[in-house]
Amino acid sequence: MKGATAEKDASMQKQKEMIAHHFSELARVKETRKKVVYTFVPGNLTELINHFGMLPVLPEINALQSGMRGKSAEYISIAEKAGHSEDVCTYVKTDIGMLRAGNIGPTGEPLPKPDLLLLSYTGCFTFLKWFELLREEYDCPVVMLHVPYQGDGEITQEMREYVSNQIRDVVIPEFERVSGVKYDPDRMKEQLQLSVRAEDDLVWVLNSARARPSPIDAWFGGVYYIGPMFTSFRGTQDAVDYYTMLREEVQDRLDQKLGPVTPDGPMREEKYRLVIEGPPNWTSFREFWRMFADEGAVIVASSYTKVGGLYDRGFRHNPDDPLGTMADYCMGCYTNLNFPQRTALLESYINDFSADGFLINSVKSCNSFSAGQLLILRELEKRTGRPGGFIESDLVDPRYFSAANIKNRLESYFQMIEARRKGATS
Amino acid sequence: MNVTVGIDLGSTTTKAIVLDEQGRIVGRGITNSRSNYDVAAQVAREEAFTNVRFSMLSRALEESKLLKGRQAEFENALSRGFALEGYLGQLDRLEVHCREDLSSGRYGDLTLALSSALSDILRRLRKDATALFAPGRNARSDFFRDIAGSGFISAASEISRAGGPPFDRIVGLFDKSIIPVENEPESRSFSQRLLAGFGRIAGSFGVDASRVRELLARVADTPLTPVRLVGTGYGRARLPFPKDQIRSEILCHGLGAHLMFPNTRTVLDIGGQDTKAIQVDPIGVVTSFQMNDRCAAGCGRYLGYIADEMNLGLHELGPLAMESKHRVKINSTCTVFAGAEFRDRLSAGEAREDILAGLHRAIILRAMALLARSGGVKNEFTFTGGVAKNQAAVNALRELVAENYGQVTLNIAPDSIFTGALGAATFAHRDIQAGAAASGEQQLVKASTAPNSGECHGDHCGC
C-alpha cells in the first residue's frame, strides 16, 4: 500500500497534466484550427462542447486561479481603471483585467479569443452582464441557454422541455455552424457513459467524509476534487482515470484512518466537523485553510462543491436521454435551487455527515450565494440545534480578506462549539 | 493567597480582573494599551494586584482598629498618596528619557534652550502634582500620558509664547519619550511606593505611625500567587500564554455579562475597534455572535476621533450630546471621515451638540444592524465596553431597542469595561476547579512576571 501523501500527489499530478495539456491545446488553436467556447461552471455543457471538437475556457476558473497566483489585485485594478466599479463582482473584474493585460493563462501561455460565448446558465444575473462585456471585448457571438430558476423547488416537465428544446434548436445548430461538425447522438451517448463513471467516483469521494476521521476536506480539498468534473474534462477518459485514481487514494486513507491532507501534511486530530456554505477565498487560500487545519477543523460537506452539479443527491447524466439530462443538469446546480431547497440540503449535510456545526463564508462579490444567507443560518440553527458561524471575505479581491478579523471569528466559533460541548464548565 | 487572573487586551485599554480562591472579584486594573501589549498586560495586572492589596489593607486596618472612625478618609488619602508617588516616579523617568534624547545631538543649537524649557516644565509639573492628587480632585484620565501630557503641553505653550523654543520642538520631547516611559515597569516596588505615600499623610491622622507602617509592610509583603491566567481581547495573541489560556473575547464578554447580570440573553459590546453582538444561553454560553468585519466604522475609536476633532476629552462627548435639542441626521459612520463629517456640519451652521447627538445615534444604528444579524435583542439585554459609559450612546440605544424590540431590560454595570476580563478570569478559575494542572502555570507565571518566580510579593517583584 502506498503512503497517503504519495497517492495524493499521484492524482494531483494527473490533474495537473490534464490542465497543462488543455492549456497547451488552447495555445495551439491557431495551428490546429480548433474552435474555442467560453462558458461558465454552473450548467456547463462540457460534453457538448467537446463533442464538436471545440475547447472550453471557463472565465470563473481563470479568475480564481489568478487569485491563487496573486495576480487578481493587479487585474482588478486594471478593470477598475477601465471604469468597473468597486462593487462589481471581482471574478468579472479579474477576468476583464486579465484580458486587458494580455490574457495570459495560468500556465503562462496566452489564451485564445473565443469563437463563441455559451451562456448556458442564467441563474446568476451577473453572468449575463459578464458575457455582454466579453461580447464587446471580443466581438464574438453569444448563444444563450435560458435556464429557469427552481423558484417552486422543482423541475417540471415544461421546464425540462423548455431547456432541452433550446439545446436542440439553438445551441446545437450554433455549435454545428461554428465548428463545422455534425451532432452525433451515438457518440454523445458514449461521452455521457464516461461522465456517469466519473460522477459515481466523485460522489463516493465526497461521501467518504461521513467517516470519522474524515479522509478528505470537502471544501479546501473538495475544490481540487471537483476540478476535472466542473471544468473541461467531464465525459472524457482522462476524467474517468483521474477519479479512479482519487478514489483509490481516498480508500487508502480511509483504511489507514487518516485525516485529510492539509497544506502542512495530514491532519493529526479531527476536533471539529463542519458543513460550510459559500465559496472559499482564493487570494489567501492556504492561509485560510490553515486557520481551520491548525484548530483541527475539517469541512465534511460544502455547498460550493455543488455549483457544478448535485451529483451526491442522485443526479447522473443519462446517456439514453442526452438533451433531457443536460436540461436536468443545468437546472439542478446548487445556485439554481431556491432557499428552502438550499436550507434542506445543508440541513441534511449537517445530519448525514455528523457535523458539530456549520459555517457561512459570505463573499462580498457573489449575490447568488450571499443573498439570504443569514436567513439560512437562523433556520439551520433552529432545525439542527447546532451552532452556526458567519465569516466574511471575498472571492479574489485581497482587499476584502482581513486575516485577523476572520481568524478572530473562527477562533471564537471553535471555542463556542467547545463551550457548548462542555456546558458552562469551559 | 492563590488568585486567578483574567486579562482583556483591548485596542484602547487593557483590563485585568483578579479572583480569589472562591471566585470573588478582589482586584481590578486598567491601563491604556499603548503600542506594546506585553507591557500593557503587565501594567494592568500590576494595577489589579495593587487593587487587591488595597482591599487586603482595608480589611487589615479594620481588624486592627488603629484608625477609629477615620479609616475611609485614611484609605482615600493613602490611595492618593500612593498614586502621587507613582506619578512622580514616572515624571522622573520622563525626565531621564527626555534628557537622553536631548543629549543625542540632533537638536543642535536648540539643545540648551530645550533643556532649560524641560527643567522649567518638569519643575511646574512636580509643583502641581500634589494638587492633582489632592482630595476632591478627579483626574480627567487615569493614565500618565494624559495627566502629564496635558500639563506639559500647557507649560510648553506658555514657554514658547514667552520667547522660548518653538512649541512643537518642546512637545516633541514629550512625544518621543512617553512610549518608553509607559513601557518601563515601575522602578520602585509596591511596598516602597505605599510607605512613601504613607509618609506624606502619616502626620495628618494622629495615629501610631510605626504600628501602621508595620501593618502596611506586612500586607504589602503577603504573597499573591497567580495560579492561572487567561487572556482575551484584540491583542490576546500577543500574550505569552499557552493556547489553552487564550480565550476569544466573544466568549469572555458573553460569560462576563452573564456573571454581572445572570438573566442576560443578548450582549452588545462596543469597544475601540470592535462591535460585538452576542447571544448567550441561561448559563452564559455563547450561542451566536456577529461582529463588525473589515472596517471599524461606528466603533469606540470613532468617538475618539470626534473628541480629538473637538479638542474635548472622550468623557465630555456624551454630556454635550445630551444638550441637543434638534438632532442632526448623520448617515456615515466611517471613522476616518468622522472629522470631515463633523466639520461639514459645523460649517453648515449646525450646533455642536446637535451634530454630536446625530453621531451617537449613527453608531448605535450600526450596532443595531449587527444585533439584528446576531438574532435580535432578547430580554435581558446587557451593554458593555467603553461606549457603555457614554450616556448619549446609552440613550440612543435605549430608544432604538424600544422602537425595534419593545421594552426590554437594559443592563449596564458601572464597571462594564471589565466584562471581558471578568469572563477571562472566571474561565481561569473554572479551569483550576476542573483540575487544570499547576505544571504549566509556573512557566507561564515566570513568563509574565519576570524577573520573579510565580509569586508576586509586591515588595520585591517587578510584575
A423 to B247: CB separation less than 8 angstroms, yes or no:
no
In CATH terms, the fold of domain B262-412 is Nucleotidyltransferase; domain 5 (3.30.420)
Residue-wise pLDDT for B149-193, tens only, equals 989 999 999 999 999 999 999 999 999 999 889 888 778 888 999
**pLDDT higher than 80, residue A423:** no
**pLDDT higher than 70, residue B458:** no
Residue-wise pLDDT for A164-213, tens only, equals 999 999 999 999 999 999 999 999 999 999 999 999 999 999 999 999 99
Most confident of A28-42, B47-61, B70-84, B279-293: A28-42
Q: Which residues of A touch B283 (CB under 8 A)?
A: 423-424
Q: Which residues of B touch A388 (CB under 8 A)?
A: 288
Which pLDDT belongs to residue A180? 97
Question: CB contact, 8 Å: B283 with chain A?
Answer: yes
| Tally of CA atoms within 13 A in the half-sphere of A400 that contains its CB | 23
Q: Output phi, psi for B3, to 5 deg.
A: -135, 160
B288 to A381: CB separation less than 8 angstroms, yes or no:
yes
B293 to A374: CB separation less than 8 angstroms, yes or no:
no
**pLDDT higher than 90, residue A90:** yes
Instruction: Please give the average per-residue pLDDT across B12-21, as a whole number.
Output: 91
**Closest alpha carbon within chain A to B283:** A424
The domain limits of chain B are 1-66+208-247+424-463, 81-183, 262-412
Q: Name the residue facing A400 among B248, B294, B373 (closest C-beta).
A: B294
Strands in B381-384's sheet, in edge-to-edge order, are: B286-291, B275-280, B266-270, B381-384, B410-411
Q: What is the share, in percent, of chain B residues with pLDDT greater than 90?
A: 52
Question: CB contact, 8 Å: B285 with chain A?
Answer: yes
Q: Which of B228, B232, B248 to mutate to test the interface with A (most CBs of A within 10 A)?
A: B248
Q: Name the residue facing A420 among B285, B289, B294 (closest C-beta).
A: B285
Confidence of residue B294 (pLDDT cuts 50, 70, 90): low
Which pLDDT belongs to residue B35? 66
Q: Name the residue facing A388 among B247, B288, B427 (closest C-beta).
A: B288
Which among A269, A268, A272, A259 has a CA at the least distance from the CA of A356? Answer: A272
Query: Whole-angstrom Cα distance, residue B431 to residue B226?
Result: 13
Q: Name the residue facing B294 among A378, A390, A405 (closest C-beta).
A: A405
Among the ranges given (A97-101, B21-25, B28-32, B123-127), the one the predictor scored with the smallest mean pLDDT: B28-32
Q: Which residues of A touch B234 (CB under 8 A)?
A: 408
Confidence of residue B312 (pLDDT cuts 50, 70, 90): confident
Q: Which residues of B touch A387 (CB under 8 A)?
A: 287-288
Matching residue, cell 495576480: A71
**Closest alpha carbon within chain A to B273:** A405
Query: Whole-angstrom Cα distance, residue A64 to residue A279?
Result: 11
> How many angstroms away from the CA of A255 is the closest CA of chain B?
32
Cβ contacts of A248 within 8 Å, gap of 6 or more: A7
Query: Whole-angstrom Cα distance, residue A237 to residue A325?
Result: 20
Among the ranges given (A134-148, A255-269, B196-210), the one the predictor scored with the smallest mean pLDDT: B196-210
A408 to B290: CB separation less than 8 angstroms, yes or no:
no
pTM of this prediction exceeds 0.80: yes
Q: Which of A412, A421, A426 to mutate to test the interface with B (most CBs of B within 10 A)?
A: A412
**Closest alpha carbon within chain B to A363:** B293
Confidence of residue B31 (pLDDT cuts 50, 70, 90): confident
Assign domain A4-183 to a CATH class.
Answer: alpha beta
B251 to A405: CB separation less than 8 angstroms, yes or no:
no
Question: For residue B375, what is the DSSP state?
Answer: T
**pLDDT higher than 80, residue B240:** no
Residue-wise pLDDT for B218-233, tens only, equals 999 888 899 999 999 8
Matching residue, cell 484512518: A257
B294 to A420: CB separation less than 8 angstroms, yes or no:
no
Alpha helices in B300-337 (DSSP H): 300-310, 314-321
**Closest alpha carbon within chain B to A420:** B285
Which pLDDT belongs to residue B137? 74
Q: Name the residue facing B294 among A374, A402, A425 (closest C-beta).
A: A402
Contact in structure between A260 and A216 (CB atoms under 8 Å)? yes
Preceding amide of B165 cis, omega within 30: no
Amino acid of residue A101? A
Which pLDDT belongs to residue B34? 65
Which among B463, B459, B411 has a CA at the least distance from the CA of B16? Answer: B463
Q: How many helices (H) and strands (E) does chain A have?
A: 19, 10
Query: Whole-angstrom Cα distance, residue B256 to residue B254?
Result: 6
Whether the domain at B1-66+208-247+424-463 and the domain at B262-412 fall into the same CATH topology: yes
Which pLDDT belongs to residue B139? 63
Q: Which of A393, A402, A408, A410 to mutate to test the interface with B (most CBs of B within 10 A)?
A: A408
Query: Whole-angstrom Cα distance, residue A58 to residue A374?
Result: 30
The number of C-beta contacts closer than 8 angstroms across A and B is 57
Confidence of residue A7 (pLDDT cuts 50, 70, 90): very low
Q: Which residues of B touch A411 (CB under 8 A)?
A: 248
Interfacial B residues in 369-398 facing A (CB < 8 Å):
373, 375
Whether ipTM > 0.95 holds is no
Among the ranges given (A50-64, B192-206, B328-342), the one the predictor scored with the smallest mean pLDDT: B328-342
Q: Which of B37, B275, B279, B285 to mutate to test the interface with A (most CBs of A within 10 A)?
A: B285
In CATH terms, the fold of domain A187-425 is Rossmann fold (3.40.50)
Greater confidence (B32 vs B285) lies with B285
**Closest alpha carbon within chain B to A400:** B294
Question: CB contact, 8 Å: B294 with chain A?
Answer: yes
3-state secondary structure B233-300: CCCHHHCCCCHHHECCHHHHHHHHHHHHCCCCCEEEEECCCCEEEEEECCCCCEEEEEECCCCCCCCH
**Closest alpha carbon within chain A to B252:** A412
Confidence of residue B296 (pLDDT cuts 50, 70, 90): low
Which pLDDT belongs to residue A139? 93
Query: Whole-angstrom Cα distance, residue B402 to residue B381?
Result: 11
**Closest alpha carbon within chain A to B431:** A426
A426 to B248: CB separation less than 8 angstroms, yes or no:
no
Query: Whole-angstrom Cα distance, residue B64 to residue B370?
Result: 53
Q: Is residue B55 left, alpha or beta, with left meaning phi > 0 and alpha meaning psi from -120 to 50?
A: alpha
Whether the domain at A4-183 and the domain at A187-425 fall into the same CATH topology: yes
Confidence of residue B462 (pLDDT cuts 50, 70, 90): very low
The domain limits of chain A are 4-183, 187-425
User: If you write DSSP's letter for every residue of A303-327 in order, what string do you get?
Assistant: SGGGTT--GGGT----TT-HHHHHH
**Closest alpha carbon within chain A to B249:** A412
Residue-wise pLDDT for B362-398, tens only, equals 889 989 999 998 999 999 999 998 889 899 999 999 9
**pLDDT higher than 60, residue B266:** yes
Question: CB contact, 8 Å: B354 with chain A?
Answer: no
B250 to A416: CB separation less than 8 angstroms, yes or no:
yes
In Å, how far from its chain's centre is CA B360?
A: 22
In CATH terms, the fold of domain B1-66+208-247+424-463 is Nucleotidyltransferase; domain 5 (3.30.420)
